Structure 1
Amino acid sequence: MRTEDILAAIETGLWRWDTADGTVTIDAQAARLLGLPEAGTYREAAVRACYHQADWNEVRSVVGLAVAENTLAESRLRIVDEQGTVVRVVRTRSRPHVPEGKTVEQAVLLGTLQEVAEPIPGTAVQTPVTGDWRRSREAFLLDAGRALAEARSTEEVLRVAGSLSMPGFSPDGLAVFGIDGDRLTLVGHHGHTVGEEEPFVDMPLQTEYPAAEVARTGQAIYLPTPDEYAHRFPMFWPLARTFGRSSWAFLPLIVSGRTMGAWMAGFSEPVGFSPDERAVLTTVARMLAQALARAGAAETERELSLGLQRAMMPSLGKSPPGITVAARYIPTGGGLQVGGDWYDMIPLPNGRVALIIGDVQGHDVRAAGLMGQLRIALRAYASEGHRPDAVLARASRFLAGLTDGYEHTNGGDDDEATAPRFATCLYAEVDPADGSLDIARAGHPDPVVISNDGTAVIRQTAGGMPLGIETDADYPTTQVVLEPGETIMLCTDGLIETGGHDLATGWERLRPVMETPGADPESLAEALVETVHGPTSHYTTGPLAERHEDDIALVLLRRDTPMTLSKAPPRRTAVAIAQAEPERISVARQLLRELLHDWADPEQVDSAVLMLSEMATNVLVHTDGNALMVAEVTGEHGERRLRLEVSDSSDELPHKRRPGEMASSGRGLVLMEMLADNWGVDPRGEGKSIWFELYESAEPAELAAPSIPFEQI
């Protein structure tokens, strides 16, 4: 015997509901039970019209829970005719199936349909308790709780509440009221046209209106009929009657035992408010109150964050003539969008400008507060006309006093919240006229100089301890001169060390981005930020990032070019070597190697570094003055010229000697004669300059540099 014959004998129909394309396929028995003309495939709306409106909402809830839990869905439904009269009650059972490659929302349901012989209490105008009430209620509350928990704003909470389909009954309008002092205010509404809410926007709490009474007493009010509404609240009934509703529920919104407002749910269909229905409404009101409280706290935090951010956000103002400045500030994601990093540009009394970048230890509100105080102090010291070293020395004493006072006030705890803080800082006094920067550094990363052809070189500068550690720290000053078209980059360590990188690997990651010939400061700043955090990072002109590891401050300053540069602009670097700092020779060697990083012949680079070491060492050994190294590369790639000069204040000219095989000195001029393409000694008004030139060639040099360790020269 066929399955179809068995199902026909027991008057059971089959149906298939494809939720992805919104179609329902039924057999002949199912068509008869639903009151449809024949078997076939129907649109979802055509089948929905066969059910009582309230029952369809229950079907959606029960089916949603079954799909989520992969269990059997069962419910009882009333079938109505074209006039809305109930003609029969059927029971449906179905099992969801998710086709391969589809999502849960695209499930296919296969089920049966069978007429129920026993009568079901209620009529077409009364709220039924159809199907498995407990199961449908659990499904609804699960969905409602999840949706309300995910809402992040009051507007979103109201939108979610307005879309809830309660099991067996659903409101077609709602309003949320809040308490503001002794007044009841309308927070938001759903299901009303613009202007209809005007009489309910603001009223005294003592008004004889259901929501006001609920807010005063904390007790729910249920009005199942228009007559009861008119009897209990005659003053507001003429206004409520215009909405054409049949039943109303007013429930208190209570959080932590405090009534924060009231929720009104209006129903076009009459609702009897049975105990089960009241339980659902009470639970929804509780979840709605918690969602509104969370949304309100989040909105308050966002307003506080934005206000604090606007007040403390670094700003540059207008760049003075001769230079172009671009900057980015990215606070740590999550919580308040402020941190301990900052930058600043300050006009100075001598016509120059001060460029400051710094990083206060920590990423919390205290770090932001200390940053704000330190920033104000630095602006004050700079505006008084102090030199960079004096500004940082005063700022260090200032920060040490602040953190010591905080430690004593809080009992000297050792945890991060109360421990003394320090700050790194780089202060540069910029002369836009000649492109010079006098730099003092307090534990901060060195700047990077980017030449016209895109070569990026870490410019090592003298420095002292971070601010706030010592009250009498010294901060030596280093001068850096930018040629027209060159750019200097200042940043905090968050730009370098994000993503598990250390200082070395972080620079290597950023170097290809920085070495972009002709990049303007704005586009270069954007590219650097995107390399570290992607295009959704938060900075002064962009959206918020969700989360990242450390604050970032970034400043790029370019010395403007008065005229169009040639295709191969000169590349230049310089460093001073004091008598008391012989270790600066290694700094000069490193700068020279970075300047020649793309030189065609590596052996020529070794030769240049070797000659530089010999020339600088001779100055420190044979004179009482300091040495100044200036190196410049000109010409087209593959045919460039390196000219390197080491000058000093001594008038004594070097003499060429022939050292023996075991001699430890006297090799300088001999090496230059062997390795340089051209060299010489030029007397000056005060002192002299020893120089050499190397001409780039794509062919390796035939003469290799002598194998002498640089450290021994």
Structure 2
Amino acid sequence: MTAWPARLSEVVPRRNRTLTWLLALTLAITALLLIWPGTAPLTGLIVPLLLGSLLLGPRQLPWFVVAVMLALMLAIARQPSLSPRTVLAITILYLLCFIVLVTSFRRSQLGVAGVLGESMLVDLRDRILSQGTATDLPGGWLLESALRSAGGTPFAGDFVVSTRPRRTGRLELVVVDVSGKGEQAGTRALQLSGAFGGLLGALPPGDFLAAANDYLLRQNWDEGFATAVHLSLDPTTGEFEVRNAGHPPAAQLEAGSGRWTVHQAEGPILGLIEDADFTVVAGVLRPGDALLLYTDGMVETRARDVELGIDRMLGQADQLLRGEFEGGADRLVDALGSHNDDRALVLVHRRRA
């Protein structure tokens, strides 16, 4: 039993095995078309063509499409008659072959098959989402993040990155809103999330936004700007610092008074001007307090400006977070904001002893 896979690997290299099986399937369907030309449907060749577009790499796919087209030519020559319906089916098949060829040329820029390329994007998306929640905070803390993209697509221009450098033990977290929305901003978000994740854990809190600004300026993107809010929190004492780069301000719930305080730190949008300065707002999260960091999709719509949106968000937070902070980030994101814009929110809560 073990000799068969070894012999198969010698005859057909692993990288060509999928192509071999697809060619065998194409030959089998072509044989049926040649034996029973009036009965077997020409559209049967769509099956290997579709599978090839999903499974073959950009180097193999064009040659496989040519093979399918040759098989189709042989099958056409055996047709007893060419009715208008048959001509239409042939036209559609050749059109599909052309579409797959164009797709293979576009994939050559990435160099991977369709299914593999999609899995790579999904993996990158999952990495972005996983960077948003630090799992090693002390038991007295709750950290939640929620993200929704415009139109409900898996990719968004809003993202969250968090880390706890071993040398300080602090929570370093940044909420970023990349220019654009949905898939248009998703590719830039993929790149920035990795870069910001490296900067966030390697630099002192006061240097992060300046370094992020320099990084964006070096990219020379047509829409090369982003807004961000950076939180640096000491989980032991509850002391925190917030720095802002053209982003909606952080909001703190003071459990003692039940009131919300908006922390208006100032700073320019990232990627627009060099040598930018970012002011800092310092505070303390005491037991029972909470802090909200969010993007403008949560508070801004065409019919409402940011200030009114913040007031509405805090009013909803009073209701949705009353007595229960678990799952609060998801509840707030689902209840607020525009579904035509990306939305992200981070909830940091210090539990009572």
Taking structure 2 as the reference length, the TM-score comes to: 0.69
Partner of 2:135: 318
CA 341–319 in structure 1, closer or farther in 2 if over 3 Å, else same: same
Quote the offset at 1:329 in angstroms: 1.5
Partner of 1:332: 150
Partner of 1:359: 177
Which residues in structure 2 correspond to 1:697-712 (within 5 Å)? none
Partner of 2:11: none
Aligned with 1:283 (options 88, 103, 109): 88
Measured in 1, the distance between the counterparts of 2:323 and 2:97 equals 48
Pairing 1:380–2:218 present: no
Partner of 1:489: 292
Measured in 2, the distance between the counterparts of 1:518 and 1:420 equals 40
Measured in 2, the distance between the counterparts of 1:530 and 1:391 equals 30
Pairing 1:558–2:343 present: no
Partner of 1:184: 22
Aligned with 1:397 (options 192, 197, 214): 214
Q: Retained in 2: the 8 A contact 1:450–1:487? A: yes
Quote the offset at 1:503 in angstroms: 0.7
Quote the offset at 1:294 in angstroms: 8.2
CA 401–518 in structure 1, closer or farther in 2 if over 3 Å, else same: same
Amino acid at match of 2:149: P
Report the secondary structure of 2:327's partner residue. helix
Q: Retained in 2: the 8 A contact 1:343–1:357? A: yes
The structure 1 segments of at least 4 consecutive aligned residues displaced by more than 6 Å after TM superposition are: 254-257, 288-297
Q: Retained in 1: the 8 A contact 2:149–2:182? A: no
Partner of 1:98: none
Q: Retained in 1: the 8 A contact 2:132–2:159? A: no
Measured in 1, the distance between the counterparts of 2:316 and 2:224 equals 33
How many residue pairs get matched?
298
Gap regions ≥5 residues in structure 2: 1-16, 51-61, 73-78, 104-113
Quote the offset at 1:557 in angstroms: 0.1
Q: Retained in 1: the 8 A contact 2:150–2:341? A: yes
Q: Retained in 2: the 8 A contact 1:510–1:531? A: no
Measured in 2, the distance between the counterparts of 1:282 and 1:522 equals 62
Q: Retained in 2: the 8 A contact 1:462–1:476? A: yes
1:495-554 deviations in whole A, cap 9, x for unaligned? 1114643213322432332003534444321221221379xxxxxxxxxxxxx4222221
Measured in 1, the distance between the counterparts of 2:124 and 2:317 equals 32
Partner of 1:531: 335
Measured in 1, the distance between the counterparts of 2:30 and 2:346 equals 56
Measured in 2, the distance between the counterparts of 1:180 and 1:310 equals 28
Aligned with 1:514 (options 317, 320, 337): 317
Partner of 1:429: 232
Taking structure 1 as the reference length, the TM-score comes to: 0.37
Pairing 1:350–2:188 present: no
RMSD: 3.9
Q: Retained in 2: the 8 A contact 1:450–1:514? A: no
CA 286–258 in structure 1, closer or farther in 2 if over 3 Å, else same: farther
Measured in 2, the distance between the counterparts of 1:520 and 1:294 equals 53
Aligned with 1:223 (options 22, 26, 36): 36
1:559-579 deviations in whole A, cap 9, x for unaligned? 1211xxxxxxxxxxxxxxxxx
Quote the offset at 1:204 in angstroms: 7.2
Amino acid at match of 2:349: R
Which residues in structure 2 correspond to 1:188-203 (within 5 Å)? 203=24
Measured in 2, the distance between the counterparts of 1:393 and 1:433 equals 27
Quote the offset at 1:466 in angstroms: 1.4
Which residues in structure 2 correspond to 1:441-456 (within 5 Å)? 441-452=244-255, 455=258
Aligned with 1:480 (options 268, 274, 283): 283
Quote the offset at 1:346 in angstroms: 0.9
Report the secondary structure of 1:350's partner residue. coil
CA 351–427 in structure 1, closer or farther in 2 if over 3 Å, else same: same
Measured in 1, the distance between the counterparts of 2:195 and 2:304 equals 33
Measured in 1, the distance between the counterparts of 2:134 and 2:118 equals 26
Which residues in structure 2 correspond to 1:89-100 (within 5 Å)? none
Q: Retained in 2: the 8 A contact 1:350–1:385? A: no
Partner of 2:106: none
Q: Retained in 2: the 8 A contact 1:316–1:344? A: yes
CA 531–275 in structure 1, closer or farther in 2 if over 3 Å, else same: same
CA 525–499 in structure 1, closer or farther in 2 if over 3 Å, else same: farther
Which residues in structure 2 correspond to 1:250-261 (within 5 Å)? 250-251=42-43, 252-253=45-46, 260=68
Measured in 2, the distance between the counterparts of 1:351 and 1:503 equals 34
- Between structures 1 and 2, the one with greater strand share: 1
1:347-395 deviations in whole A, cap 9, x for unaligned? 0221111121111212366744443443334333332351x22221122
Q: Retained in 2: the 8 A contact 1:454–1:518? A: no
Where relative contact order (Cα < 8 A, 6+ residues apart) is larger, the structure is 2
CA 454–306 in structure 1, closer or farther in 2 if over 3 Å, else same: farther
Measured in 2, the distance between the counterparts of 1:390 and 1:379 equals 14
Measured in 1, the distance between the counterparts of 2:254 and 2:80 equals 80
Amino acid at match of 2:22: L
Q: Retained in 2: the 8 A contact 1:498–1:532? A: no
Which residues in structure 2 correspond to 1:578-593 (within 5 Å)? none
Amino acid at match of 1:223: W
Measured in 2, the distance between the counterparts of 1:353 and 1:432 equals 7
Measured in 1, the distance between the counterparts of 2:164 and 2:344 equals 20
Gap regions ≥5 residues in structure 1: 1-178, 186-202, 215-219, 226-246, 264-272, 407-418, 535-547, 563-713
Measured in 1, the distance between the counterparts of 2:96 and 2:256 equals 57
Quote the offset at 1:421 in angstroms: 1.3
Q: Retained in 1: the 8 A contact 2:128–2:193? A: no
Aligned with 2:260 (options 454, 457, 481): 457
Which residues in structure 2 correspond to 1:159-170 (within 5 Å)? none
> Which structure has the larger Rg over C-alpha atoms?
1
Measured in 1, the distance between the counterparts of 2:303 and 2:99 equals 34
Quote the offset at 1:463 in angstroms: 1.5
Measured in 2, the distance between the counterparts of 1:469 and 1:519 equals 42
Identical columns (%): 23
Measured in 2, the distance between the counterparts of 1:463 and 1:373 equals 25
Quote the offset at 1:492 in angstroms: 0.7
Quote the offset at 1:489 in angstroms: 0.4
CA 295–501 in structure 1, closer or farther in 2 if over 3 Å, else same: farther
Which residues in structure 2 correspond to 1:86-125 (within 5 Å)? none
CA 455–212 in structure 1, closer or farther in 2 if over 3 Å, else same: farther
Amino acid at match of 1:375: S
Measured in 1, the distance between the counterparts of 2:260 and 2:85 equals 68
